[in-house]
């Protein structure tokens, strides 16, 4: 296991960092206050190839590996969480799920548009009555000849009103003895007749991000848009969560780093009791914890990226990375505010936004409680990695760059 970064990794990291720091950082406070996305962010991420970093060139991607995806997410969230959220839903939940489970025809038709950034995707799983319990999904998809008729509503969907496609899980067999066995997955064109979308406002954090709802009313979805076989929707969704959680973990690592950096800067500027507050041991203790947590979180997500590159299942490793990094980012942002004192309570300082943004990640993409159950399940032998019909392809540099 080698965690050293290649020249290509470092170039990718620098490219994403330059974009986020130069184009988004100067205006993010304004758009966070307005609760609006930065207008150019998604377009520029597509133009720069960020949205399709880890896909083969033949499918419109940049030919980079899965570690590059993690590095990009770290750099994006170090500036603002809404940038990484776009990667989580477009790249992780939608495009990587399509890459893993889609047919060659589906990849040529849809993935090339998504990986190139010409079209945007999202994941539509959460419903008003179910979040963590995916097996309780009520959205229905009834077969009618060459189409499925889709009815239902999805809630708390990032990029709901911005995306062109949604990876949707719906119930195709309401009589299945096991609820999860009655689900199937579909790539739904959100411009179809019967689809309505809207935005949600008043969120605690990720205010510059687009979050909303999607309503399906007798939407005709071609059978050709079904991802996988009927009844595979639950495991397809869970596999997609592994990809999404990887992006959340690597992004949260960037938020730990950002909290550390603003804390160090302030600790070297602010003086109390005749000296810099960085000379006070309790302030040093807080910063030291951020340093430690950043290194641990980074190693955890790099391990997941390495496992993905090797074509290995990473559910447990991803759970470790997601739970640790998101909880550590919340703690780091909280301590950053404490270090800033009264100024940390003001949105003039980044620490305030970091704290608000950090809270969401311990809830979405599998809450900390869900991650605890996953980890305990493996330890107790209640869970095991059973072979899937379709695994995420291992990274092959020659194939990725053909």
Q: Classify residue 121 by its DSSP letter.
A: E
Q: How many CA atoms lie within 13 A of 124 on its CB side?
A: 35
Q: Does 365 qualify as catalytic in the annotation? A: yes
**Nearest one of 151, 306, 170 to 220, comparing CA atoms:** 151
Task: State both tokens at 351.
Answer: 């620490």
- Please tell me the pTM assigned to this model: 0.97
Q: Which of helix, strand or coil describes residue 393?
A: coil
Q: Are 154 and 124 in contact (CB under 8 A)?
A: yes
List, for residues 293-333, the tens digit of each pLDDT value: 999 999 999 999 999 999 999 999 999 999 999 999 999 99
Q: Are 220 and 193 in contact (CB under 8 A)?
A: yes
Written out in words, the top-level CATH class of the domain with range 235-400 is: mainly alpha
Q: How high is the pLDDT of residue 163? A: 98
List, for residues 345-391, the tens digit of each pLDDT value: 999 999 999 999 999 999 999 999 999 999 999 999 999 998 899 99
**Nearest one of 275, 271, 340, 325 to 295, comparing CA atoms:** 325
> Alpha-carbon distance 384 to 382, whole Å?
7
Alpha carbon 75 to chain centroid, angstroms: 13
Task: State both tokens at 233.
Answer: 């929707």
List, for residues 64-94, the tens digit of each pLDDT value: 999 999 999 999 999 999 999 999 999 999 9
CA distances from 164 to 5, 159, 195 (A): 34, 9, 11
Q: Which residues pair with 154 in a beta bridge?
A: 214
> Alpha-carbon distance 115 to 95, whole Å?
7
> Alpha-carbon distance 245 to 318, whole Å?
7
Residue corresponding to tokens 């809630």: 155
> Alpha-carbon distance 164 to 362, whole Å?
27
Tell me yes or no: is domain 122-231 CATH 2.40.110.10.
yes
Q: Are 29 and 38 in contact (CB under 8 A)?
A: no
Q: How high is the pLDDT of residue 4? A: 87
Q: Which of helix, strand or coil describes residue 310?
A: helix
> Alpha-carbon distance 19 to 326, whole Å?
24
For residue 43, the tally of other CB atoms under 10 A from its CB is 12
Alpha carbon 330 to chain centroid, angstroms: 16
> Alpha-carbon distance 91 to 95, whole Å?
5
Total residues found in the chain within this entry: 402
Q: In CATH, what number does 7-120 get?
A: 1.10.540.10
- Give the domain ranges of the chain: 7-120, 122-231, 235-400
> Alpha-carbon distance 110 to 384, whole Å?
32
Q: Are 70 and 301 in contact (CB under 8 A)?
A: yes
- Residue by residue, pLDDT tens for the chain (402 residues) are 677 899 999 999 999 999 999 999 999 999 999 999 999 999 999 999 999 999 999 999 999 999 999 999 999 999 999 999 999 999 999 999 999 999 999 999 999 999 999 999 999 999 998 888 899 999 999 999 999 999 999 999 999 999 999 999 999 999 999 999 999 999 999 999 999 999 999 999 999 999 999 999 999 999 999 999 999 999 999 999 999 999 999 999 999 999 999 999 999 999 999 999 999 999 999 999 999 999 999 999 999 999 999 999 999 999 999 999 999 999 999 999 999 999 999 999 999 999 999 999 999 999 999 999 999 999 999 999 988 999 999 999 999 999
Checking DSSP bridges between strand 165-171 and strand 121-124, what pairing results, if any?
parallel
Q: Classify residue 95 by its DSSP letter.
A: I
Q: How high is the pLDDT of residue 1? A: 64
Catalytic-role residue among 269, 365, 369, 397: 365
CA distances from 287 to 253, 290, 292, 355 (A): 15, 5, 9, 16
Residues 6+ away with beta carbon under 8 Å from 4: none
Residues 6+ away with beta carbon under 8 Å from 280: 272, 273
> Alpha-carbon distance 75 to 293, whole Å?
17
State which H helix or E strand residue 263 sits in: helix 233-269
Q: How high is the pLDDT of residue 350? A: 97
Task: State both tokens at 11.
Answer: 């170039």
């Amino acid at each position: 296991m080698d965690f050293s970064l290649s020249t290509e990794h470092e170039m990718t990291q620098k490219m994403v960092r330059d974009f986020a720091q130069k184009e988004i950082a100067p205006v993010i406070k304004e758009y966070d206050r307005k609760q609006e996305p930065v207008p150019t962010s998604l377009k520029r991420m597509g133009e720069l190839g960020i949205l399709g970093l880890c896909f083969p060139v033949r499918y419109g991607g940049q030919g980079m590996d899965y570690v590059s995806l993690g590095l990009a997410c770290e750099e994006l969230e170090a500036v603002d969480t809404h940038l990484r959220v776009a990667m989580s839903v477009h790249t992780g939940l939608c495009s990587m799920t399509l890459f893993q489970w889609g047919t060659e025809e589906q990849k040529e038709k849809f993935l090339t548009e998504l990986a190139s950034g010409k079209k945007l995707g999202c994941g539509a799983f959460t419903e008003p009555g179910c979040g963590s319990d995916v097996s309780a999904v009520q959205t229905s998809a009834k077969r009618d000849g060459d189409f499925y008729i889709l009815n239902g509503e999805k809630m708390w969907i990032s990029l709901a009103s911005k995306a062109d496609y949604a990876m949707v899980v719906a119930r195709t067999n309401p009589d299945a003895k096991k609820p999860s066995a009655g689900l199937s997955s579909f790539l739904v064109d959100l411009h179809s007749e019967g689809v309505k979308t809207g935005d949600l406002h008043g969120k605690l954090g990720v205010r510059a991000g687009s979050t909303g709802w999607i309503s399906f009313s007798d939407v005709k979805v071609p059978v050709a848009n079904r991802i996988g076989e009927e009844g595979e929707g639950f495991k397809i969704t869970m596999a997609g969560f592994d990809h999404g959680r990887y992006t959340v973990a690597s992004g949260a690592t960037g938020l730990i780093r950002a909290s550390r950096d603003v804390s160090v800067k302030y600790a070297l500027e602010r003086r109390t009791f005749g000296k810099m507050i960085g000379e006070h041991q309790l302030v040093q203790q807080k910063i030291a914890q951020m340093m430690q947590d950043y290194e641990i979180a980074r190693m955890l997500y790099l391990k997941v990226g390495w496992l993905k590159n090797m074509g290995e299942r990473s559910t447990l490793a991803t759970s470790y990375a997601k739970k640790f990094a998101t909880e550590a980012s919340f703690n780091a942002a909280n301590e950053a505010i404490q270090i800033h004192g009264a100024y940390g309570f003001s949105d003039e300082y980044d620490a305030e936004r970091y704290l608000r943004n950090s809270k969401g990640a311990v809830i979405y993409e599998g809450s900390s409680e869900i991650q605890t159950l996953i980890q305990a399940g493996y330890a107790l032998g209640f869970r095991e990695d059973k072979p899937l019909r379709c695994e995420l392809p291992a990274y092959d540099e020659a194939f990725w760059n053909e």
